[in-house]
Structure formats: structure tokens, C-alpha cells
Structure 1
């Protein structure tokens, strides 16, 4: 029996375990002893380690931060880097976000494509190679991370205690092969607000977004409006609704008005694919507020320097290179009250540029505004030469298994575990031209897709270890 036949034999099990893993709501929570990212993330880790043991793999749980499962012999190790945590589900799902339900031959749920479906695919790919019964020249180790969607403490902890594999791929991006990933810079822009209000409208609070690396699909402002200003406010709101495509709604409760902005979520590395609910709301608020108090000035500055832009042109970082193209900028979160405003930006910068160039450009663009620029997190870019044997082998496997002989290795603004070690690249699971549903409502993976990537990963493991 060949590899593809083995994978077909496992089809029902692959579907079942993907559904079960999706049903674990593994969003990061407050840590506890032995469970640094919360109960449910730990439950997902224990689930895959138990599944690996049932497959006959040797396993290790490294203090709840990460784990691995291993087969094979040899002095060298091939790594497969996956993650079990997911971003929050957001609103507007057609099917339960943690149901793992099948509709139209698609498995729906948060993590179906990022990264639980690919995790199960990789596990069963290892199982297929193991059951071939051929002698392997390397160890094969799948490493399970648990907070990839935030700050990667899982991988930092793992690689402090364990030697990195000699080569690796991660099934957490796109095919055919990702050979370069932009640098990832998370910044906070903080502004102290000096006075609460002026005129008939007071801004009590603005809050929106779930994570820096998600285009926010919801943002809410709570306003206090005097009676004499309500009619003018409503007129401006209705005029905007009639003349733009902005998705806004209002709820009026005596003097308090809640303005709700609904956008379209997308991955923070591709902000052009979504509609930013924060930017949509800030544009409206500038229209309705008076112009002589600090909250208004901050909102006006937001619209001038950020607005609906996604490449950082107006805020001093509209940069690009000839390898990875233009910088992208996503305003992922906002928290504003009467005393302080805080924006969190997710920036993906080209591989040939430095974080210092980006940060200094923003500082210069905001000079004199009173806004403080704080670096929250940073990840260096990734670049693996095209003639690297890892890249060449994975390209060969992809072309043989798909028949796609024209696609070339690509670059991305996404950040994967590949940059956590040397000699690693991202490899799937998205195919060229396929809809990107990661971090979006109604995330799914088709069953056909799931089985196809399992075959590709099994062949890749075989070719890299035979």
C-alpha cells in the first residue's frame, strides 16, 4: 500500500479528529500552574499528545508550554511546527464557531484552517510514513505550540530547553513554499487626553478589536449627548448612512448613545482583505464631534495619519522592497476613555528593511502630537535562499502531487513558526487562488482539501527523511 492509499484509509479518522480538536475552544486565557495559557489551550495540547501516543509516537509535554511527538531514527531531525491556539471567534458566524460541523463537505470552526486542520493532517501524514515500514534516515518530530497567535512564549520556552530540528516546515500559510516572511512589529500609540468634552457631545469610551493581528470587525463608541444636540447628531448619522457604504448603527438611551461599527475581519497581514471597523467609526466621529477638545483632535489625527490606509503612507512608513513588496499596517485595537487613548498597530515590514527605519518614520510623522510610540513585540523577518535543499525538495513534492508546474516559491506578510528556528519554511495549507478564511467568521476547511494536504505532507516527510 502506498502513501496516498494509506491516507485514504485514514480519511474518516482525519475528519473525526479535526472536528474534535476544533470543538476545544483553545483561545488564550489567564495562565495557571502547568497550564500557562489557560485550561482550554492545555486541553488541546493534551488531546493531540494522547492522539500521538495512540498512534505509537513518543511524546513529550514541556511544562504545558508546548509538546512534541516523534518517530524515526538518525542523528538529524525533521521538524513540523504547528499551533493549537486560535484567535477569538468574533461575531456573525453561520455555524457554531466551535462546533466542528460539516456542511457542504466543509468542516466549519475556528482553527479549521489555522491551524487545527493542518495539525491533524500532519499527524496522519507522519502515521502514513510510519506505516510504510521503510527505514528513515532522520527523526520526524511534530512540535505543538500553544500561543502562536500572541507572543510565541511557547516556542521561546521550547527552544530554550530543546535542540531545534535540523530543518522544518510549518503547515500554516500557503503553497507552494514561503521562502520569505516580513518582519512583524506590534506598536502601541498612546496619547494622554486633557479634557473630556466640548459642546453638546462627550466621548465616554471607544473600544474595538480583539487582537493586533486581526482586522477588527467591531468597534463601539459610547457618547453622552445633550438634548439640544441629539437631532443634529441623528441627522448627520442618517446622512452618512444614505451616502456611504459604512456599516454603522446607533442605540439611544436617554442622554447616552452607543455607536456600533461593523467591519469585515481578515488576517492582520492582509488588511486590504477586510474592512476595519475602527477606521470606519473614527471617520464618522470626526463628522459629528465639535472641534475644540483633545479627543476630537486625536480622532482627526487618526483619520489624517491612518484612516483607511493599509500601507502606512501617511504615518511615515510607506516602505517597500523588491523581495516582499510593500509594508502593511493594520490598526488592530483601540481603547479610549476620557483620560487616555491607545491604539495597537500590527505592521509587517519588508525583509530588506529594519524595524528602526519603520519606527523612526512613525516617530517623525507624529512629532509634536504628544503621542508616545511604544514597541510591544517584534519578530525578525525570515529569508531562506531559493536554492536551499529544503525549498527545492518541497517545491518538487508540491509540483508532483498537484500537477502545478508553473507556481514559484512566494513571500508573505504572515508570520509563522518557521522564523523561530534556522532552516525552516512555511508549506501550505492554502493553494494558489484559494479563499483565505483564517481569522474570519465561518472559517472552514473542505474535506477534499484536508485529505489532499495530508497526502502532500506525507510525501514531503518521506522525501525529506528517506
Structure 2
């Protein structure tokens, strides 16, 4: 299918008419506090992540699409269309820990402010789930000839190791082409990885008794704490930090 100007205007009009529905559905997903926790039977990433996955699957089903969780609830898949060729739409419902300092609203009580929806997961990455849903709806409702099928992947462990994707790859044929709506424009062709490392020192950092910050590897720290020896040169150099 060639996306000409007429078709693009048709799709844009379709989505504009459903803006309130998009906000409603995204808010529904944001309200689920889907932060990973200890595994439970049938919930490999914890009960909250299973709740987020289940809510997204329910959303696709309510809109008339074939959607289901994998065996063991590691991920979900929603599909539309027929044919051997497929386009993958990848998103995830899990989120990083919330931390402190939420100024505009509680993290799982979304609020629309100046045309933007604020809440944990509003961009990363529950928006991608709703984007995938409305792409599939537009293709179906406007009878757009895509010449294949759409496969929406619903992840539940992207923030903590991507075991969900690994399970998907083992159990399913890979789409011929995939889109990951997990970033801003322009379109990217890849993403840098994350380097996790641990530092241990016996001498050079001996004045540091402990140091900690943040709630996860892949988030910007909202605060950090350090415990120093009171007689250390570093502690004495901190203005007003230590008296006497």
C-alpha cells in the first residue's frame, strides 16, 4: 500500500476524531502500577506487570482484535489481517520505579495538562500500546489494503532485561518489518545498549562507607546518598556538612 496524500489525510482525520478515546485508553493503562516485582505463579515479572499485560490484552479484545498472552504470561500478541508477510508493532506495559518529586500528578493518576498526558508510562511505553491499537483500528475501519498482517507485541519486561522479547523470538516467526514507537522523531535505526558495572575498592575509596542512589539501572537518579568517614579529607571539604 502506498501512503499518498489522500490516504494520509483520511488516517489523520480518523485519529483526530478519536483523540478523546486515545486519551481515555492510555489513561486506563497508566493507572496500572506495572513495576516489576518478585515472580509469582503465572506472573513471571510479578503481579503488577501481569496486571498491566492483562489490561492491554483486554483493550485489544474489546476493540475486536484477536489478542492473547503467551503461555506463562511472558508477553502478549494482538493481530489483524492475513497473509505470509507481517509488520510488527512493538511496545511494553511495564515501567520503571516512580521515585519522588512528581509535581503535576501522582505517577499512576494521569492528568492532561496543556494538551499533554502526564503519568508514569505515558510515553515510555504505554503510549506505544495505544498507538499500535489505533493503527490496527485505522487499517481495519478504513479498509486500508496493507497486503499482510499486523502483529502487535505487548511486552512486560522491557525495563528489566527484555526476557519477554527473548521468549517471543523463540516462540514466533519474526515479522518481516518492525516498528518500535518508543522514541521521538526522527526515526531511529537502532539504540545504544546499557552498560552495567560494579566497582569495589579497598583503598582509594576507603573514606566512602556507602554510596547509593536511584531505584533502577536505567533511570535518572532522583537522589543519591553517601556516607563518609567523619575524619576523611572529602568530608572535611564539604562546606557545612560536618561540624567540629
TM superposition score category, shorter chain reference: 0.7 to 0.9
The CA distance in 1 between the partners of 2:113 and 2:242, in whole Å, is 35
The CA distance in 1 between the partners of 2:50 and 2:242, in whole Å, is 40
Which one has a bigger Cα radius of gyration?
Answer: 1
The CA distance in 2 between the partners of 1:23 and 1:209, in whole Å, is 23
Unaligned runs of 5+ in 2: 1-8
Match among 150, 167, 175 for residue 165 of structure 1 = 175
SS of the residue aligned with 1:143? strand
SS of the residue aligned with 1:156? helix
The CA distance in 2 between the partners of 1:164 and 1:34, in whole Å, is 25
The CA distance in 2 between the partners of 1:105 and 1:192, in whole Å, is 49
Assess if the C-alpha contact under 8 Å between 2:228 and 2:235 holds in 1.
Answer: no
Matched ranges for 1:341-420 at <5 A: none
The CA distance in 2 between the partners of 1:151 and 1:39, in whole Å, is 17
Would you say 1:218 and 2:223 are equivalent positions? yes
Question: Residue 194 of structure 1: CA displacement?
Answer: 6.8
1:375 maps to none
Provide, for residues 190-221 of structure 1, a one-character-per-residue CA deviation record: whole Å limited to 9, x for no partner.
32537996xxxx64322113222223231112
Assess if the C-alpha contact under 8 Å between 1:81 and 1:168 holds in 2.
Answer: yes
Match among 83, 97, 121 for residue 92 of structure 2 = 83
SS of the residue aligned with 2:69? strand
Greater mean deviation of Cα atoms: 25-34 or 151-160: 25-34
Runs of 4+ in 1 over 4 A off after TM superposition: 194-197
Structure ranking higher on relative contact order (CA contacts 8 Å, 6+ apart): 1
Assess if the C-alpha contact under 8 Å between 1:186 and 1:212 holds in 2.
Answer: no
1:190 maps to 199
The CA distance in 2 between the partners of 1:177 and 1:237, in whole Å, is 45
The CA distance in 2 between the partners of 1:34 and 1:251, in whole Å, is 51
The CA distance in 2 between the partners of 1:185 and 1:195, in whole Å, is 26
The CA distance in 2 between the partners of 1:5 and 1:28, in whole Å, is 37
The CA distance in 2 between the partners of 1:147 and 1:8, in whole Å, is 31
- The two structures have a TM-score, normalised by structure 2, of 0.85
Question: Residue 2 of structure 1: CA displacement?
Answer: 2.9
Match among 194, 212, 222 for residue 207 of structure 1 = 212
1:137 maps to 147
1:22 maps to 30
Would you say 1:11 and 2:54 are equivalent positions? no
The CA distance in 2 between the partners of 1:195 and 1:174, in whole Å, is 42
Unaligned runs of 5+ in 1: 240-249, 256-466
- How many aligned residue pairs are there? 233
2:130 maps to 120
The CA distance in 1 between the partners of 2:205 and 2:100, in whole Å, is 31
The CA distance in 2 between the partners of 1:206 and 1:128, in whole Å, is 51
Assess if the C-alpha contact under 8 Å between 2:78 and 2:151 holds in 1.
Answer: yes
Matched ranges for 1:234-253 at <5 A: 236-238=237-239
Question: Residue 134 of structure 1: CA displacement?
Answer: 4.0
Would you say 1:92 and 2:97 are equivalent positions? no
> Higher strand share goes to which structure?
1
- The two structures have a TM-score, normalised by structure 1, of 0.46
